[in-house]
Structure 1
Amino acid sequence: MRYRVLGALEVRGGDRWISLGPAKWRMLLAVLLCHANRTVPTERLLDELWGEEGQPRSAGKLLQTYVSRLRQTLGDESGEVLITDKQGYKAHGYRLAVDAADFDAHRFEQLVEEGRRGLDRDGPEAAAERLREALRLWRGAPFQDVPPAPSVQAETARLTELRLQAVDARVEADLRCGRHASVLGELETLTAEHPFREDLRGRQMLALYRSGRQADALAAYRALRRSLAEELGVEPTPALQRLHQRILAGDEALMPSPERREERPAPARRAASRGPRQLPPASPAFTGRHGEVAVIRTLLEEQDRHGAEGADGADGGAGGASGRPVVIAAIDGTGGVGKSSLAIHAAHQLADRFPDGQLYVDLHGATAGLTALDPGEVLGRFLRALGVDGSQVPGDTDEASAQFRSLAAGRRLLVILDNAASVEQVRPLLPAGPGCSALVTSREMLTTLEGATHLHLDVLPRDQAVALLERIVGAERVRAEPEEAEAITRLCGGLPLALRIAGARLAARPGRSLRSLVTKLTDARGRLDELSFGDLAVRTSFQVSYDGFREGRRSDDQDAARAFRLLSALPGPDVSLPVATALLGLTPGRTESALERLVDAQLLESPDSIRYHMHDLLRLFASERAEQEDSEAERSAAVARGLSCYLATAQQAVTLLDPLRPWPRHPVEGAAVPLSDGAEAEAWLKAELRNLLAAVAYAVDGPEPVARLGVRLAQSLQWFLYPRAHAQDLQTVNELAIQAARRLGDLESEAWGLDHLAGAHWLRRAYGEVRACLEDALEIWRELGHHEGELRSLCNLADALCELGLHEEAIEVQQGQLALARKTGDLAAEVIGLGNLGRAHRGLGRPEEALTCFKESLEGARRAGNIHHEGFALYEMGITYMEQGRFPEGRTHLDQALPVWKQPGTYESWRGHTWSGLFPACMTLDIGPGPR
């Protein structure tokens, strides 16, 4: 097994990545990896998994269940990887056996140590390579998808600090190799993020001095000294003070040795004073994007390596320029995500690599009120900037492009093509010189741009979003209201443009609290109005992309514009292609074409081939456009079609999962998503669960037809949510369904909602609330003469009374249920009732009466062909035998029950109960659980 924690927690077995399941499983594996190859005591694991929320009474059994399921997931049923350390018959703790070579955190530490040893032995080239290899293992924050646990938080902090030390050591290695210019941009970012790390500031000062920027090196020292005095009341370390004095004195000994000086091609140095410098100012508030900047820097480092190889094999010429490929980085992303800021920031960091100049143009591909620039016009600007007389600039675009390529061929130029409309606009503007590079930004992914490396820019993660707010508003002010700052970043959706506007509004009103802005942004209908300041507006940024479809001439442009508007009305975090097809009332082909057009324009995101997600602020904008351009009747009809598709498919799915249960089927207009078997049904319900829950919450507040769809959808979700122990979701949807049913005067739906709400309380072990719900439901069933509902609620009430210790009362209720079941000929209800009656007898210490009931229940289940209740009867018999000390018989019955719970999508929560039931028998018989 291979484990990766330097980013999201991932496990690879053979040639496939393994899905790790629920959060508690990931927490357990993460804690064990934090203590790899060491035993973690059971008590420690319980504290780690439930420390803050409080351990449930069954925490010990749940831990055993999690261990068992984790072993199954890892393919380790024998327990040779996840090892149980025992004291007697009891598990004392668990140990995960991990090979250091298969664990990225251990491999990272090994490589860092090798790099440090290389530095100690004065082998900076090998050290730098080892440290780069170590840092390439990082994919993001450690354990980024694991809920917080003490061990995980401590290990995350340790690894993060070690990474910073590795970066520092790699920079030192590069400096020893004479690559001072190459690290300047990186050091600028690092010192901004870690302003009090004096080792990093010292390296920045040295790199600046070696690059001929003595004044900047001294200014960096003064800035640090001022910050230390103001914030901490201390002076820089003596070592840094000595470095400052040596730089002040112009100490030549600080320069690298000749064999390690960073070489530049001679023609580039000669042309440095003549080249154009067209870069706009970099944003002082630029924050984050370290991964993207690192990718661009790496591309250019590889370009330099190719150049060096070309120089080694050349017989002369311009410094081996022929070995360098042209580097093209194409940055795409939605409006306001910070593409231009990234390109300009990276260009400033890398400007020293391009001594012949930096050319910049805003191509107006997505600028409100402006037409995209013609490539011929841009080429004229570039040629004149490179010294061509205006009268000599060709009027033909192809000729001008050829002349531009000829001029660039012998130079090292950086070309920034900002805000591009299309590949056709960009292609004539690209240099072909082997020492040249281009950064291109566009809202569309320029997939047909030959030789380009594509960088998709997403919204800022939470920590970087808060950091951006701090840079604009001031760190002190933001840190004084941390919860409000988090709320602002959430309401802005992490979109840099929105955060810049929010920050600017606060900066313009230094006396106002962050809370006042949160209050305004919380009103969804006015949020886009608030996200407008000066010449910046989120709405305007979105409008440009939308107008491209609204006014477009392609056949699918109008479909895309309509899809964008109507998708905003459907609740849920995302939408699948089949549901979108129902919502829009189009063919699947037309729907997919429209959605993919929106993805290309960055108005939708598509994490896979059939699911689509809209950013929160884009959803608000789309909703505005829908209200302006679509009638209320059209919007309502579209939503009804989408909700009907959800309901029809949910009813189909739960029927496939449990075909023997008489599900309440309601006629639904509209087609369901095709599902062929229980596995597909399970996968669909899991993928759509957040959308289905959102649909219920939305629908129950709607007009009567929509509200009924919501109530029926809540009913359909019952037997998906209950076996999987989704207690909170189950409680929420049924409380909503009950309120809607009462508003509609629908007594039957109200009774079903009460019965299902009792199931949610059951999962929380709130048996008193279970009893209250069921007694309310029984009143309605009897008023309606609804025998099926009455039988079900009586069974559940008897079970609840047993849990409350009221076994005699439970027997009385259950005998009434059995009488009604036999009177109405309901064999399934009789089977369940006999099982409940057996549990009541067992609770009173009557094992023989209990076994008689369970045997009758088993016989009835087999006559009815109901495998699920056959499994329940076998399970109850096994437990009863074990309580009597009859372990072999108990083992036999539990073995027979286990295959039922192993079926995909069927009573998953009972599988763990059956396994835990096997443990006492297995320990007594000195055998392992499972089929013999």
Structure 2
Amino acid sequence: MRFQLLGPLTLADGHEAVVLQPSKPTVLLAALLLHANTVVSAEYLQRAVWGEEQPVTAKAALQTCVLRLRRLFTRHGVTGTVIEAVPGGYRITAAPHTLDLLGFRDQVRRAVTLSDDPDAELSTLKDALSLWQGSLLTNVRSDVLHRDEVPRLAEERLRSVERVCDLLLRLGRCGEALVELWSATRAYPENERLHEQLIEALYRTGRQSQALAEYRRVKAFLLDELGVDPSPALQQLELAILRGEDLGTGHGPAAAPVRTAEAGAATDRGAGPVPAVPNFTGREAETAAMVARLTAPAEPGEEAPHPLTVLVSGPPGIGKSALAHHVAHLVRDAFPGGRWLVPMTRPDGGARRSDDIAAEVSDALRAGPDGERVLLVLDDVVDADQVRPLLPAIAGAQGAVITTSRMGLAGLIATHGGWVHRLTAFTEAESYALLLSVLGAERVEEEPDAAHRLARLCGHFPFALRILTARLLTRPGLRLADAVGWLGEDPLARLTLTDSPDISVRALLDGALNRLGPRLSEAFQRVAAAPGDTFAPEDSPAVTETVLEQLADAGLLEDGPPGPYRVHELLRSYVRRTAPEHIRRTEKV
């Protein structure tokens, strides 16, 4: 037989459980169990059962209440636990396996000894928290216990929740932390530590604007309700986010506040350390190949005329920047001089000035110790002419380059060499792995078929999947099957973040077409609107093979000669939705 205090007061025997009815013996049992293995004074028990205004017969009534409780034990087969009458009061004995409160505290103490193994500590704390079964003592009618004991127990649980979230953030499992933090911050709006964790988790999952909005909400609450400013830790966190620092497992060095391809834009701020990528999944073959090439020992002999170059290309939203940033972190030991991110476009998608880029590259090459190798990530390159002038200086400093671009940049590879990784949509397994990583195994594995359908509705595009998971994280109670119906009604409109409209599939593709120019943009719309799944030059005299090759080079068409070209279904849906608007815009021009 097991007593459960961490919820309604319950007697449990294996899978059978009896929630005790509200009564004075139930209050007495709760008061004794809350102080198990210690003597509880008769005076305290009387106050717990009858409140501060006790009847004159309270002492005799307590003895009667003890007798009724012993009879209740007999009725439910409780034989291993006795209520002892001792001088001054009563005592009940219990152990971690017979009382959930003692089991919880025992697990928490064990977790402390595992601090050198964060995974083990996290697992132990989660086991401890799993003993909590809902609102405390809802069937125990005692003002004294709810005033004096319940807040203390809730605080014990809260400390463990905070520690669990600390460990999840430390391990980079920010998506899991968000699920717990959304409810915890609303239940404890005055707890600044929980808000700090929530804001950090939002920022590290690529939701900078939402993180700042949450900070402003907390700040307003503290001022309006308590008349105080946010804590120094919260204020420092806001400053780190505004500066775009790479928080990682702590507040690290300043970094350029760069949105990866999943976030849909680059910054116009200068070069900075490469940010980490939370919940990175998939691209195992590409990752292994890039790491092997970037860490391979240099060939003996003369210095190479061009730097070691790896090009990651593909359509918008396919995860080019995320892969480049992830690999940059994996090869950090091979580049002790630093790993620097250089954004090559402005927020509006236009190419940055070549003078500014050259100055930033020069600064990055000089930032590390003399003779130490430096890795540069040239992010979102518009054309080969942006890159060529930078390569001699990088080669002279024994540096290496990862270039990301929507364009194929075949001319750059032809003249300066390098390796090319052309990314396509995720496989079904990769999409499912991303959902598992961000949403958590418990939620996804409960509805695997719905998870696969959601991935297909997103076209297995990493950017679309990231938006979907961000929305689902803010609705932890929403079933995935319900999300399938909701998203399937209008994927293009609903693959957007309502608090950050610029982070959407439509905004990303609008920018991609604007970067093409009117002639290629019109040709792409013609190809995407054509019937069937493929398109060949003979299908329309207005679209030549040269134009089709240019669209394929820009990542908007797949395959090509000798077979037909294909348009991804997500891009085809976009054209069907936006074609009338593009026509009106063209007519105005």
Normalization by structure 1: what TM-score? 0.33
Q: Judging by fraction of residues, say which structure has more strand.
A: 2
In the alignment, residue 402 of structure 2 is paired with which amino acid? L
Which one of the candidate residues 375, 380, 386 is aligned to 1:414? 375
| Alignment match, 2:119 | 223
| Alignment match, 1:536 | 503
Write the distance in 1 (CA, Å) between the matches of 2:555 and 2:472: 29
Which one of the candidate residues 266, 280, 293 is aligned to 1:286? 280
Native 8 Å contact 1:358 1:416 kept in 2: yes
1:593–1:386 Cα change, 3 Å: closer
**1:376 correspondence with 2:384:** no
Native 8 Å contact 1:409 1:433 kept in 2: no
Write the distance in 1 (CA, Å) between the matches of 2:347 and 2:511: 6
Native 8 Å contact 1:322 1:434 kept in 2: no
Deviation at 1:468, TM superposition (A): 0.7
Native 8 Å contact 2:295 2:331 kept in 1: no
| Alignment match, 1:572 | 532
Write the distance in 1 (CA, Å) between the matches of 2:580 and 2:121: 57
Deviation at 1:626, TM superposition (A): 2.1
In the alignment, residue 606 of structure 1 is paired with which amino acid? D
Deviation at 1:386, TM superposition (A): 4.8
Which one of the candidate residues 465, 476, 480 is aligned to 2:442? 476
Deviation at 1:231, TM superposition (A): 8.0
1:220–1:354 Cα change, 3 Å: farther
Which one of the candidate residues 542, 552, 560 is aligned to 1:599? 552
Write the distance in 1 (CA, Å) between the matches of 2:561 and 2:125: 52
| Alignment match, 2:292 | 298
Deviation at 1:435, TM superposition (A): 3.3
Native 8 Å contact 2:559 2:565 kept in 1: yes
Deviation at 1:368, TM superposition (A): 5.2
Write the distance in 2 (CA, Å) between the matches of 1:608 and 1:362: 33
Deviation at 1:536, TM superposition (A): 1.6
Q: Judging by fraction of residues, say which structure has more helix.
A: 1
Native 8 Å contact 1:363 1:420 kept in 2: yes
Secondary structure of the corresponding residue to residue 558 of structure 2 = coil
CA deviation vs aligned residue, 1:79-119 (integer Å, no higher than 9, x gap) = xxxxxxxxxxxxxxxxxxxxxxxxxxxxxxxxxxxxxxxxx
Native 8 Å contact 1:576 1:612 kept in 2: yes
| Alignment match, 1:446 | 409
1:591–1:220 Cα change, 3 Å: farther
The structure with the larger Rg is 1
| Alignment match, 1:336 | 317
Deviation at 1:482, TM superposition (A): 0.8
**1:522 correspondence with 2:482:** no
Q: How does 1:400-439 map to 2 (within 5 A)?
A: 410-430=371-391, 431-433=394-396, 435-439=398-402
Identify unmatched segments of 5+ residues in structure 2: 1-113, 130-252, 257-270
CA deviation vs aligned residue, 1:774-799 (integer Å, no higher than 9, x gap) = xxxxxxxxxxxxxxxxxxxxxxxxxx
Q: Which has the higher contact order (CA 8 A, sep 6+)?
A: 2
Native 8 Å contact 1:411 1:433 kept in 2: no
| Alignment match, 1:505 | 471
CA deviation vs aligned residue, 1:848-894 (integer Å, no higher than 9, x gap) = xxxxxxxxxxxxxxxxxxxxxxxxxxxxxxxxxxxxxxxxxxxxxxx
In the alignment, residue 355 of structure 2 is paired with which amino acid? G
Write the distance in 2 (CA, Å) between the matches of 1:620 and 1:578: 23
CA deviation vs aligned residue, 1:735-788 (integer Å, no higher than 9, x gap) = xxxxxxxxxxxxxxxxxxxxxxxxxxxxxxxxxxxxxxxxxxxxxxxxxxxxxx
| Alignment match, 2:574 | 621
Write the distance in 2 (CA, Å) between the matches of 1:337 and 1:476: 27
Secondary structure of the corresponding residue to residue 272 of structure 2 = coil
In the alignment, residue 563 of structure 1 is paired with which amino acid? A
Deviation at 1:572, TM superposition (A): 2.4
Write the distance in 2 (CA, Å) between the matches of 1:326 and 1:482: 45
Write the distance in 2 (CA, Å) between the matches of 1:537 and 1:498: 8
Deviation at 1:410, TM superposition (A): 3.9
In the alignment, residue 527 of structure 2 is paired with which amino acid? L
1:219–1:339 Cα change, 3 Å: farther
Secondary structure of the corresponding residue to residue 381 of structure 1 = helix
Native 8 Å contact 2:309 2:402 kept in 1: yes
Query: Aligned residues, how many?
Result: 326
Normalization by structure 2: what TM-score? 0.51
**1:547 correspondence with 2:514:** yes
Native 8 Å contact 1:279 1:348 kept in 2: no
CA deviation vs aligned residue, 1:644-666 (integer Å, no higher than 9, x gap) = xxxxxxxxxxxxxxxxxxxxxxx
Secondary structure of the corresponding residue to residue 395 of structure 2 = coil
Write the distance in 1 (CA, Å) between the matches of 2:402 and 2:366: 22
| Alignment match, 2:57 | none
Write the distance in 2 (CA, Å) between the matches of 1:563 and 1:232: 60
CA deviation vs aligned residue, 1:561-585 (integer Å, no higher than 9, x gap) = 2232122333322222322x2xxx4
Secondary structure of the corresponding residue to residue 373 of structure 1 = coil
Deviation at 1:597, TM superposition (A): 1.5
Deviation at 1:607, TM superposition (A): 4.5
Deviation at 1:520, TM superposition (A): 2.2
Native 8 Å contact 1:375 1:429 kept in 2: no
Q: How does 1:64-143 map to 2 (within 5 A)?
A: none
Native 8 Å contact 1:419 1:442 kept in 2: yes
Write the distance in 2 (CA, Å) between the matches of 1:290 and 1:564: 31
Identify unmatched segments of 5+ residues in structure 1: 1-217, 234-272, 311-320, 389-406, 552-557, 635-932
The answer to which of 375-384 and 493-502 deviates more is 375-384
Q: How does 1:204-243 map to 2 (within 5 A)?
A: 221-224=117-120, 226-227=122-123
Write the distance in 2 (CA, Å) between the matches of 1:575 and 1:414: 40
The answer to which of 347-356 and 599-608 deviates more is 599-608
Secondary structure of the corresponding residue to residue 511 of structure 1 = coil
1:219–1:338 Cα change, 3 Å: farther
The answer to which of 347-356 and 531-540 deviates more is 531-540
In the alignment, residue 294 of structure 1 is paired with which amino acid? A
RMSD: 3.2
Deviation at 1:601, TM superposition (A): 0.9
Secondary structure of the corresponding residue to residue 432 of structure 1 = helix
Native 8 Å contact 1:343 1:416 kept in 2: yes
Secondary structure of the corresponding residue to residue 513 of structure 2 = helix
Native 8 Å contact 1:408 1:432 kept in 2: no
**1:363 correspondence with 2:333:** no
Deviation at 1:228, TM superposition (A): 7.9
Deviation at 1:408, TM superposition (A): 10
